[in-house]
Structure 1
Amino acid sequence: MVAKQSSLHLTGKWLIALLTTLVAIGPMTISFYVPSMPAIAESLQAPIGAVQATMTTYLIGFALAQLIYGPLSDRFGRRPVLTVGLLIYLAASVLCAFATSVEQLQGMRMLQGFGACCGPILGRAIVRDLFDGVAMARAFAIIGAAVAVGPAVAPMMGGLVQEAFGWPANFLAVAILGSAVLLLVLVFLGESNTNLNLDAARPRAVLRNYFSLVTNRTFMGYVLVNALIFSGVFAYHVSSAFLFIAELGLRPSQFALIALVTVPAYVSGNFLSNRLRMRGMKGRQLIGIGVTCTLAGAALLGILADDLSLIRVLGPMMLYFFGFGMVLPQGIAGALQPFPRIAGSASASMGCIQMFSGAVSSVIAAGLYHGDGAHALGWVLLTVTVAAGLIFFTMVPVEADPKEQHH
């Protein structure tokens, strides 16, 4: 897999490794502190819903920032915008650790999300700068498979940190991660955007670009399918700590190990999606298979929710994550392929819609939680997967599948 010419200091597997790290920052920060949620509620004397809202505020900050980072990176380049975003992320992570009320934590989490989104949004844009067609889908599949491990390993690490040092240490740990990534960017990452769009950051141009994206039926079809399936993952994250720790009585470190169970399922779906795409199957067909798997997982969870146990939750969720792994890389490639000149704005629009969907689903899952997390989660997953299926059949036409391009 060969990248286009650019001023990057890294190429090949090292470039993919760094881009994977960048894209993983946002998801890892979402789930790293999840094992600490019950402890945060107790320490700050806050209701469960208020603590769950710290994830929602993070997602809102994450979503809003993408609308800013995308056009700025199209105008000024990926590297300088990435540097500023990582500095914001670092500062907000430290401030989260010293929050003395849940309201302060909610506000700092929003700022943390605002900074963290620079990694995924610009990491995806850099991939679009450097690859086309099947090569781009393959790069997203490789990054996606590796990124799946991060959010799953993060709760395990967070659980161990929680038991050893308490909840503030989890935010200091991600601050250290942010510092390391910032150093890698400053030392090793050059500029990939060699065709700066001088009008991209002008308000009128920004609105025009976003309008052209959201009114493009094919773009919105791919994006909405991805966003809806993605929102189910967020609903699972916001429900899982209370489901496994409060209802099933697991310790934070045990819960963290449970989080790893979904990794093989996601990676398998991602790997299969990549292999079948390389062998000529169209991205639309792969998305259809993935959506069907997520729908089956959601329905199975709803059926089994009455008699709660680990296997009755994890079995359906593994099927859901397998489908998610098949859908995600093909949806990203299909959405970004037609927009090389405004790849930053396209990536920003996609990420913003995904994160707002995640915020809404996490609020709904938290609102439905009344000590029976499996039922609440099942209803949310079933709703988003049915909606994703309807959008897939009505908004992603067969002829919209991105053509293979070889470079």
Structure 2
Amino acid sequence: MQRNLLPMLMAMVLLSPLAIDIYLPSLPTMAEEFSVSNSEVQSTLILFLFAMGLGQIVIGPLADRFGRRPVALFGVILYGLSSVLAGVAQEFELLQIARVLQGLAACSTSIVVFSAVRDCYSVKESAKIYSYLNGAICVIPALAPTLGGVLALHFGWRSTFVFMTCYAILILCMVTFRFSETRPSHTISDGALYRWARYKPVLMDRHFLFYAICCMTGMGAILTYVSYSPVWLIGHLGMSELAFSGLFGINALINIGACFGAPWVIKKLGNRPTVIFALSLFVVSAALQFVVHQWGLTSPLAASAGFMLPMALLCIGFALLLGPATSMALSGFGERAGTAAAMLGFIQMSGASLLAGLIQQTSLTAPYAVICVMGGGAIILLTIMSMKRMNAWHVERLAHD
């Protein structure tokens, strides 16, 4: 195993959440500057995540064929170039194109990170490593919106993309000089890159599909929460960008604690019970959000806090869900980890972006939008897990290392 691999993977995995969170406080300002609607400016988030998911299908097999390191280098370089393009865009359509390219770039590094975990750790260890990686990911929502708000306040929203460019250069140096190839020698990499036979063993596996949908539901709930929050709190309730960053950061700090505490919970409860517990938190969060919104708080600060408080439970549930669900989804695919990780990412991210995009086409306000996605999805999944005849979908099985 490569020495000091985890810190390097943690640094690489931050590229994706950084591209999501650092410019959140600027969304209302960007909508004004480009003269577009709130749903259109929210599309820059949706397009990024959809491209990140769709790109998994293309790039996953490349990671198995050519190795993790070349794919990582390609992704970091494209991330930097697309960040520059977004920063100089004068037309909204060009910004959207830049976000699609940035999503493709982020998916490259994401595949490398999660494949490297499967390459270098056992399935039992990987659940803990995934949780640590998710903990690193959750640091960004705690810090990036505040940083983005300060940058936008002093230098304009385009400075947030300049910051992403600088971070990409730093990661490029790290990958170039410190990241060695991790692809196992037994990785299946022969034959055509894109053929049904490569994806069929993964997509026909019911156990994989169920836990991939669990990941998709969690990501869909988080994306709905993230995309609606600035529009609801800043645009509707009139909070300042820095006040929004503060409230958002509190939930992110809660998420960080939950992510780093998740390995302990997984050890005590096990993978499947932890998934059940996490989905139950989604249901409780949805119920609490409904009650608080029905209460009809009139003060902007109280209404903002009332919206964000139930979201703290969502953040905890998401932190607990992703590690064991990812580990169980990938547990049977040691010989094709790159392809399996790619399909998981595709279902999780593109599916989540479609969920969030569809809910944005309705007239639902932010509280009801997150209630529908997180509450509805969790209830369906918990119902399946309560049915004995569906055991093949969700009961934990012995993994293949």
TM-score, normalised to structure 2, is: 0.92
The root-mean-square deviation of aligned C-alpha atoms, in Å, is 2.1
Shift of 1:391: 4.4
Counting matched residue pairs gives 392
Shift of 1:261: 1.5
Shift of 1:111: 0.9
Shift of 1:201: 5.1
Whether 1:286 aligns to 2:261 is no
Whether 1:197 aligns to 2:197 is no
Question: Residues 399 and 147 of structure 1: is their aligned pair in 2 closer, same or farther, counting only changes over 3 Å?
Answer: closer
Tell whether the 8 Å contact from 2:152 to 2:159 is kept in structure 1 after alignment: yes
Aligned partner of 2:229 among 234, 240, 243: 240
- Higher mean C-alpha displacement, 382-391 vs 44-53: 382-391
Tell whether the 8 Å contact from 1:141 to 1:329 is kept in structure 2 after alignment: yes
Q: Which residue of 1 is the match for residue 13 of structure 2?
A: 23
Q: 1:142-168 CA distances to partner (integer Å, 9 max, x unpaired)?
A: 111121112332212111111111111
Aligned partner of 1:85 among 36, 56, 75: 75
Aligned partner of 1:164 among 149, 154, 162: 154
Question: Residues 390 and 21 of structure 1: is their aligned pair in 2 closer, same or farther, counting only changes over 3 Å?
Answer: farther
Question: Residues 299 and 107 of structure 1: is their aligned pair in 2 closer, same or farther, counting only changes over 3 Å?
Answer: same
> Counterparts in 2 of 1:251-270, with a 5 A limit?
251-270=240-259
Shift of 1:45: 1.4
Whether 1:302 aligns to 2:295 is no
Q: Unaligned regions of 5+ residues in structure 2, if any?
A: 298-302
Letter paired with 1:301: Q
Rounded to whole Å, the distance in 2 between the matches of 1:399 and 1:392 is 6
Tell whether the 8 Å contact from 1:229 to 1:388 is kept in structure 2 after alignment: no
Letter paired with 2:396: D
Rounded to whole Å, the distance in 1 between the matches of 2:143 and 2:30 is 20
Aligned partner of 1:357 among 345, 351, 354: 351
Q: Which residue of 2 is the match for residue 216 of structure 1?
A: 205
Rounded to whole Å, the distance in 2 between the matches of 1:391 and 1:148 is 29
Rounded to whole Å, the distance in 2 between the matches of 1:291 and 1:75 is 36
Whether 1:401 aligns to 2:396 is yes
- Higher mean C-alpha displacement, 156-165 vs 184-193: 156-165
> Counterparts in 2 of 1:54-133, with a 5 A limit?
54-133=44-123
Tell whether the 8 Å contact from 1:132 to 1:405 is kept in structure 2 after alignment: no
Q: Which residue of 1 is the match for residue 27 of structure 2?
A: 37
> Counterparts in 2 of 1:126-165, with a 5 A limit?
126-165=116-155
Aligned partner of 1:334 among 323, 328, 333: 328
TM-score, normalised to structure 1, is: 0.91
Tell whether the 8 Å contact from 2:68 to 2:181 is kept in structure 1 after alignment: yes
Q: 1:254-299 CA distances to partner (integer Å, 9 max, x unpaired)?
A: 21121111124323433443113334x3200111011001111012
Tell whether the 8 Å contact from 2:67 to 2:183 is kept in structure 1 after alignment: yes
Question: Residues 251 and 369 of structure 1: is their aligned pair in 2 closer, same or farther, counting only changes over 3 Å?
Answer: farther
Q: Alignment partner of 1:305: what SS?
A: helix
Letter paired with 2:381: A
Q: Unaligned regions of 5+ residues in structure 1, if any?
A: none
Tell whether the 8 Å contact from 2:142 to 2:253 is kept in structure 1 after alignment: no
Shift of 1:367: 2.4
Tell whether the 8 Å contact from 1:125 to 1:343 is kept in structure 2 after alignment: yes
Letter paired with 1:145: G
Q: Alignment partner of 1:341: what SS?
A: helix
Tell whether the 8 Å contact from 2:142 to 2:251 is kept in structure 1 after alignment: yes
